[in-house]
């Protein structure tokens, strides 16, 4: 794809986002999860990113291999004594790719269709999804990409914010998909870097606190394109205030059809769910 202006690309009227692809149905943040979400008709693929020791951008929620649903390269369990010791930022991507993140039963999501999988490069996701869209003549989707960072993790679990954002944006710009990218984070530092250095990129502020809209926007220092709170924090008043500031409200993570319907009824602009198959029933 050739890079083009972001100005002409609008987010969907109601954005149907597959959380970590389709976490309820396939292992999270993997190629199979993204392709399943695409098959189910999502308008946005939501995902998490980390940086490897050798500077590669790849998909993962946790900053270490999670023994609940991930296995050692030889297929063995990660011992409880090593629960948080396999830190991704301290491994080259060639080593990260050897771990199996798709074969272990995950009791929190018993419906997952298990299959051997690896933590993919972000570039690999772009290539696979765009090729799939072209081959199947599907509508273009957006990519909602989270920077998994926080101040206490700098230099331990991830690089500092500017380096993180620059490495992420190098992949995005290199693949020419910036028109379709949203960068989201709980870490206001990374969003500030995006706003300063890459103002054409859409931003989304993730929120799990009860500070309220004004305080969270004051902490961020600008008005993002999207305000993305934990879904139980959403009220009609919040939606109205956000809309008055020309922000969309897209809460996370809603996993029942009734709750999706209830939120849609009070005017949210989309939802993020582990079960994108629910969108067929809206």
Instruction: Read off the CATH number of the domain in which 148 is found.
Output: 3.20.20.190
Whole-structure pTM value: 0.96
190, part of any domain:
yes
- Structural domains in the chain (count): 1
For residue 139, what are the domain limits?
48-107+118-246
274, part of any domain:
no
Average pLDDT over residues 216-236: 98
Rounded (to 5) percent helix, strand, coil in the chain = 35, 20, 45
76, part of any domain:
yes
Average pLDDT over residues 136-140: 97
Structure token pair of residue 224: 């993002």
192, part of any domain:
yes
| pLDDT value of position 8 | 65
Check whether 52 has a pLDDT greater than 50: yes
For residue 101, the tally of other CB atoms under 10 A from its CB is: 23
5, 17, 127, 272 from 123: Cα distances, Å: 20, 20, 6, 22
110 or 282, greater pLDDT: 110
| pLDDT value of position 191 | 98
Check whether 6 has a pLDDT greater than 50: no
Per-residue pLDDT tens digits for 78-121: 999 999 999 999 999 999 999 999 999 999 999 999 999 999 99
Burial of 163 (C-beta count, 10 Å sphere; 0-12/13-18/19+): middle
| pLDDT value of position 86 | 98
CA angle 74–76–77, rounded 5-degree value? 145
188, part of any domain:
yes
Q: What is the mean pLDDT of the chain?
A: 96
22, part of any domain:
no
Average pLDDT over residues 236-246: 98
245 and 214 Cβ atoms separated by less than 8 Å: no
4, part of any domain:
no
C-alpha to C-alpha distance for 180 and 140, rounded to whole angstroms: 8
7, part of any domain:
no
Check whether 5 has a pLDDT greater than 80: no
pLDDT band at 141 (very low <50, low <70, confident <90, very high): very high
Taking alpha carbons only, the member of 248, 262, 268, 260 closest to residue 18 is: 260
Check whether 247 has a pLDDT greater than 70: yes
């Amino acid at each position: 794809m050739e890079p083009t202006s972001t100005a002409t690309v609008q987010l969907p009227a109601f954005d149907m986002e597959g959380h970590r692809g389709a976490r309820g149905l396939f292992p999270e943040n993997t190629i199979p999860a993204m392709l399943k979400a695409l098959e189910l008709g999502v308008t946005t693929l939501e995902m998490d990113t980390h940086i490897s020791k050798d500077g590669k951008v790849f998909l993962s929620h946790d900053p270490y291999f999670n023994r609940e649903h991930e296995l050692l390269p030889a297929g063995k369990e990660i011992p409880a004594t090593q629960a948080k010791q396999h830190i991704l930022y301290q491994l080259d991507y060639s080593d990260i790719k050897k771990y199996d993140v798709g074969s272990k039963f995950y009791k929190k999501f018993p419906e997952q269709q298990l299959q051997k999988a690896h933590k993919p490069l972000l570039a690999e996701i772009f290539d696979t999804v765009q090729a799939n869209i072209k081959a199947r003549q599907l509508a273009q989707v957006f990519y909602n990409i989270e920077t998994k960072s926080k101040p206490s993790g700098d230099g331990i679990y991830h690089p500092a914010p500017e380096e993180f954002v620059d490495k992420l944006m190098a992949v995005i710009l290199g693949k020419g998909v910036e028109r379709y990218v949203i960068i989201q984070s709980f870490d206001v530092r990374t969003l500030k870097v995006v706003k300063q250095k890459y103002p054409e990129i859409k931003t989304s502020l993730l929120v799990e606190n009860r500070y309220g809209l004004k305080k969270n926007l004051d902490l961020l220092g600008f008005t993002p394109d999207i305000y993305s709170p934990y879904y139980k924090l959403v009220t009609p008043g919040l939606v109205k205030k956000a809309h008055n500031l020309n922000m969309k409200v897209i809460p996370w993570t809603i996993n029942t059809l009734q709750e999706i319907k209830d939120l849609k009824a009070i005017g949210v602009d989309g939802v993020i769910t582990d079960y994108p198959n629910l969108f067929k029933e809206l």
